[in-house]
Amino acid sequence: MIEHADDRLSFPTILEPVLSVPDGDDAALDSAINEVAGALADSGTLILDSFGRPARGATDEEAVLGLLDTYVRVLLHLGEVEEASTMGDLIDRIHAVNRRRKRRGSPV
């Protein structure tokens, strides 16, 4: 059990690096994804596969996309449709960056 509320992670706090990347800056988005994935790892967050088992070899992008997806679900549950839509746009942007990287033949 966490003793202090300040020790808890919040979606906006842990996602802040990717939430603050300007549109069109793919290099900054890549860096922010790595930063968030590192923070998830440092916090001991466990990434699960679709069967609820610990995922093996999950990429940084997959970890961040999973967190964003969960955040969208929480926002929708709270009735925050506009903010959830914004997170959906960010998810689409990350997918688009990954597709462009794969077309260029860059390492994933």
Inside any domain, residue 57: yes
pLDDT digits (tens, 9 = 90+) for 76-95: 999 999 999 999 999 999 99
- What span, in angstroms and rounded, lies between the C-alpha atoms of 101 and 108? 7
Inside any domain, residue 13: no
pLDDT digits (tens, 9 = 90+) for 44-64: 888 877 788 888 888 899 999
What's the domain range around 53?
Answer: 21-104
Inside any domain, residue 29: yes
Place of tokens 């929480």: 74
**Is the pTM value of this prediction over 0.85?**
no
